[in-house]
């Protein structure tokens, strides 16, 4: 940059003469510059190369999951879609049976998991001729949807879709011992009608406390004639055996590619990666496995699972899901009867290439692995399994018996109920009692339902045990009418888990399922806990948490426990721990009912009545939260009836008013249930 000022000794030039000279020079310079640029532009500029007209490249979108079931149905020529909300696999099984039925009527069906599709497409289903949507919906817990139907339920509550062209039918799976019997089936049926859909057959209500299989068959045998009448079609023939999967035997296979019990990702048990869930369980080490009871025929046990480094988080009241394994002796006996090498590596591949379900269980695998980890071999098989197996009985009388039990005739239903259900015959017992029955093992594996995870109320608090989950369980073992001894799959398997043992003997595949069974937000709120037997499990977590809160200096309200067992010196679970909590002032009241220590049976509801005035004061004045855990069939119902009586007496209410009072407590989350049948 030049200096902007001039020194004082320089005289200024003549300004007029300088301006005249400057303008002429500027004009010349500008003219020369413009002329030069024009010359360059016209003669020396490099011509722009012509760009050839290339065809446009098509943009290929990243592959996405096809979430339109309507498009899939159009592509594969289907008329009927059967959605299932399933927690234990039964609703899925029923959905598969209904979709297979369709071919008898000149229709084609497909079973579908609502979690995999966009259900708003239901409004487009009428684009397909003779289309129908069927919903097999199980109710889980206290009126909740199953995990795979949660999104569908949430969407249905908010939906303002027009389903005026949709035809539907619903079969619900529930249990009458629960307060909200078949809540999910009832809701879906009612809500679809509200949105304008046309119900073509009445809502079916299956009761697992009775005979769920018979309920389904009875509904199904009336459902299809209604479908025929609605669409003007007729049955094309008798029910026939149609294989859904084809067998592929692997004679030369890399064993690193073979499933050995994993639920989802191959080698997931060797290379564990969070997050852990139903399809990716965590292998937890058993660090403690001790017997809780001092006597009696039963075996009650306390297990502790190490969840260190798993990133698994849980709250008091949650459930732990455990994937068990079948008894190896049962597996071996099935292999012997069928004359099969159980270590044969095979795959069962879906014959329907468009199906999302490529295999009935992880494949390739061995028959031994399938029968041990993937298939349910201990529950009585359903009628559709018996029907498919009948063709393999070489004795005509045994074949006729199997066909009769799988029929919808009254005598067939009665025979199935007595010979299979009430006698608790599993597939092994049926094979043993029908010597001529020898089905191909691959067809048997196709027919048997999946072995399901077992849920247990967590018996610990993560505030006290952040790296450990505790389980309290009783082993199931009983003699059947045939003289056989049946054992619970999961509890027998857990009983054999050695703490910190070598290899898989101490490992348990597990994950946590969140629950609504929660302590009050305010620690000062009183709690009344009622849990006989292993129903005490979640309350051990609750009490541990209240003790921890007290140690943190928080105000902790009254903590009251009503516990019950058979005999004081036989099966009083966690006796020392409860006494210590009471001594520390955490457990402010402990009431224990010993049902068999005296001539007259004494249960928890009797102790509630004995302390009814205190109960009413805690509930009505103290805004206490009530928690009930254990048997749904008798205990939970009796306890609820006792609360009706207490409310009616001290609240000066009629029976209907008392019932309404307790129902409102439930609605507000002040009366919670964690029960099973």
Binding residues: 86-91, 138-141, 173-182, 208, 298, 424, 454-457, 472-474, 478, 488-491, 534, 595-596, 601-605, 638, 676
**Residue 432: its H or E element:** helix 427-433
**CA pair distance 287, 460, nearest whole angstrom:** 14
Q: What share of the chain is helix, strand, coil (3-state, %, to 5)?
A: 40, 20, 40
Distances (CA, A) of 266 to 263, 269, 272: 8, 8, 11
Distances (CA, A) of 668 to 152, 263, 316, 520, 632: 24, 38, 19, 11, 21
Please give the structure tokens belonging to residue 60. 């290929």
Distances (CA, A) of 528 to 56, 295, 622: 72, 29, 11
Detail the residues annotated as belonging to a binding site for FAD: 424, 454-457, 472-474, 478, 488-491, 676
Please give the structure tokens belonging to residue 96. 């598969």
Q: 484: buried, middle or exposed (CB in 10 Å: 19+, 13-18, 0-12)? A: middle
Nearest to 536 by CA among 471, 479, 607: 471
Please give the structure tokens belonging to residue 667. 């609605």
Strand ranges of the sheet holding 345-350, from the earlier edge strand across to the other edge:
245-249, 345-350, 365-366
Cβ-contact 662, 655 below 8 angstroms: no
283 strand-pairing partners = 509
**CA pair distance 146, 140, nearest whole angstrom:** 5
Detail the residues annotated as belonging to a binding site for NADP(+): 298, 534, 595-596, 601-605, 638
245 strand-pairing partners = 350
Phi-psi region of 549 (alpha: psi -120 to 50; beta: other; left: phi over 0): alpha
Omega before residue 364 within 30° of 0, cis: yes
Cβ-contact 593, 604 below 8 angstroms: yes
Cβ-contact 148, 115 below 8 angstroms: yes
253 strand-pairing partners = none
Dump the DSSP string for 204-216. Answer: EEEETTS-HHHHH
Three-state DSSP class for residue 29 = helix
Detail the residues annotated as belonging to a binding site for FMN: 86-91, 138-141, 173-182, 208
Cα torsion angle, 445, 449, 453, 454, sign: negative
Please give the structure tokens belonging to residue 121. 């497409």
Please give the structure tokens belonging to residue 180. 């909200």
Report the catalytic residues: 457, 629, 674, 676
């Amino acid at each position: 940059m030049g200096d902007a000022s001039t020194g004082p000794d320089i005289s200024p030039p003549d300004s007029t003469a300088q301006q005249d000279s400057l303008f002429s020079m500027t004009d010349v310079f500008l003219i020369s510059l413009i002329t030069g640029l024009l010359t360059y532009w016209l003669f020396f500029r490099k011509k722009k190369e012509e760009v050839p007209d290339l065809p446009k490249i098509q943009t290929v979108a990243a592959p996405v999951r096809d979430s339109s079931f309507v498009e899939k149905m159009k592509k594969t020529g289907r008329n009927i879609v059967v959605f299932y909300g399933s927690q234990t696999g039964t609703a899925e099984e029923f959905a598969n049976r209904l979709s297979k039925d369709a071919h008898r009527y000149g229709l084609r069906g497909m079973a579908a998991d609502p979690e995999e599709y966009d259900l708003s497409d239901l409004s487009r289903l009428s684009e397909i001729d003779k289309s129908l949507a069927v919903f097999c919906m199980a109710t889980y817990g206290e009126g909740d949807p199953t995990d795979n139907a949660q999104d569908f339920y949430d969407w249905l509550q908010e939906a303002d879709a027009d389903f005026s062209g949709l035809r539907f039918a619903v079969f619900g799976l529930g249990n009458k011992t629960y307060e909200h019997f078949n809540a999910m089936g009832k809701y879906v049926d009612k809500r679809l009608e509200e949105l304008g859909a046309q119900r073509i057959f009445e809502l079916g209500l299956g009761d697992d406390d009775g005979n769920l299989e018979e309920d389904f068959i009875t509904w199904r045998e009336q459902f299809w004639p209604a479908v025929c009448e609605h669409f003007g079609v007729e049955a094309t023939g008798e029910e026939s055996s149609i294989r859904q999967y084809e067998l592929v035997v692997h004679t030369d296979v890399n064993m690193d590619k073979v499933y050995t019990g994993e639920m989802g990702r191959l080698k997931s048990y060797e290379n564990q990666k969070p997050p852990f869930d139903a399809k990716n369980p965590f292998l937890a080490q058993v660090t403690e496995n001790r017997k809780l009871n001092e006597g009696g025929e039963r075996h009650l046990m306390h297990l502790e699972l190490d969840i260190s480094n798993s990133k698994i988080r849980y709250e008091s009241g949650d459930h732990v899901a455990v994937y068990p394994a079948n008894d190896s002796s049962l597996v071996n006996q099935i292999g012997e009867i069928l004359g099969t090498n159980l270590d044969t590596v095979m795959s069962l591949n879906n014959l329907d290439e468009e199906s999302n379900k490529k295999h009935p269980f992880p494949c390739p695998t061995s028959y031994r692995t399938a029968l041990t980890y993937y298939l349910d071999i201990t529950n009585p098989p359903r009628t559709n399994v018996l029907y498919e197996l009948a063709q393999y009985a070489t004795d005509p009388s045994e074949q006729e018996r199997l066909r009769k039990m799988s029929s919808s005739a009254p005598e067939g239903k009665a025979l199935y109920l007595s010979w299979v259900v009430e006698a608790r015959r599993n597939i092994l017992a049926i094979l043993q009692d029908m010597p001529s029955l020898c089905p191909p093992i691959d067809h048997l594996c196709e027919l048997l339902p999946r072995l399901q995870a077992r849920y247990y109320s967590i018996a610990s608090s993560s505030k006290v045990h952040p790296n450990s989950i505790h389980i309290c369980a009783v082993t199931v073992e009983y003699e059947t009418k045939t003289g056989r001894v049946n054992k619970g799959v999961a509890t027998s398997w857990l009983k054999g888990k050695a703490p910190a043992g070598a290899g898989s003997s101490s490992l348990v595949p597990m994950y946590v399922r969140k629950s609504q069974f929660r302590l009050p937000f305010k620690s000062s709120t009183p709690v009344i806990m009622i849990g006989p037997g292993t129903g005490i499990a979640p309350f051990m977590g609750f009490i541990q948490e209240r003790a921890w809160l007290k140690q943190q200096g928080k105000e902790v309200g009254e903590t009251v426990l009503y516990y019950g067992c058979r005999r004081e010196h036989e099966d009083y679970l966690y006796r020392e721990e409860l006494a210590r909590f009471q001594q520390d002032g955490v457990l402010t009241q402990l009431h224990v009912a010993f049902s068999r220590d005296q001539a007259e049976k004494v249960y928890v509801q009797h102790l509630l009545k004995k302390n009814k005035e205190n109960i009413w004061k805690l509930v009505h004045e103290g805004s206490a939260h009530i928690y009930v855990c254990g048997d749904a069939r008798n205990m939970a119902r009796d306890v609820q009836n006792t609360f009706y009586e207490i409310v009616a007496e001290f609240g000066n209410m009629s029976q209907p008013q008392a019932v309404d009072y307790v129902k409102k407590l439930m609605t507000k989350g002040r009366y919670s249930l964690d029960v099973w049948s």
